[in-house]
Amino acid sequence: MPEQKNFKNFAYIDGANLHKGVADLGWKLDYGRFRIWLKEKYSVERAYLFIGLVPKHKDLYTFLQEAGFTLIFKETTYDGSGKVKGNCDADLVLKATRDYYEEAVSQAILVSNDGDYAGLVSFWKEKNVFRTLISPNDKCSFLLRKQNIPIVYLSTQKSNLIRKSHKEKAPDGDGTSQGS
């Protein structure tokens, strides 16, 4: 097998799931360090971050792009109580599938703990492009765990990835939530 650096490794990141998952652990992720970690650990060439678009958070989006993420925006809606909602699951699955069929990706990394992605992971395994699942917290869906796949829990990387400064903003700190 060729060296990992010759692969076109892509990470597909559910932004709301990542933010909420790490927040549930009681700490904040340093997104700049996280992007570097993905590059060094998994040779991730492109890290797609799927996130709800809330115009007032343009500075956050600029920061994430400068940190090396390729942002894929989902138009947001509002629920009955006025809470912002932006569900990116379908967009992530479509982009990942399209990349496979366009032969853009060699190995795929998924960052989420949402069982809705079990079908995508199964597809990637079948096509021999699945590399690993990175679960934002220790509550990874059984639908993913039962697939007998490599899983990395971000809690094991806390010392490397915790945000030490209060200056940096985090995705989905904008009030968007999972769900449509």
Using alpha carbons, list the distances in angstroms from residue 40 to 11, 33, 172: 13, 10, 25
Q: What is the pLDDT along the chain (180 residues), one digit of tens a residue?
A: 344 445 799 999 999 999 999 999 999 999 999 999 999 999 999 999 999 898 888 999 999 999 999 999 988 878 888 777 778 899 999 999 999 999 999 999 999 999 999 999 999 999 999 999 999 999 999 999 999 999 999 999 998 998 886 554 555 544 444 443
CA–CA separation, 89 and 17 (whole Å): 10
pLDDT of residue 67: 96
Residues 16, 122, 140, 48, Cα dihedral to 10°: -30
pLDDT of residue 51: 93
pLDDT of residue 85: 75
CA–CA separation, 90 and 96 (whole Å): 10
Using alpha carbons, list the distances in angstroms from residue 111 to 28, 58, 63, 140, 165: 16, 23, 19, 11, 23
Please, what are the domains in the chain? 4-161 (3.40.50.1010)
pLDDT of residue 125: 97
pLDDT of residue 78: 80
pLDDT of residue 10: 98
pLDDT of residue 142: 96
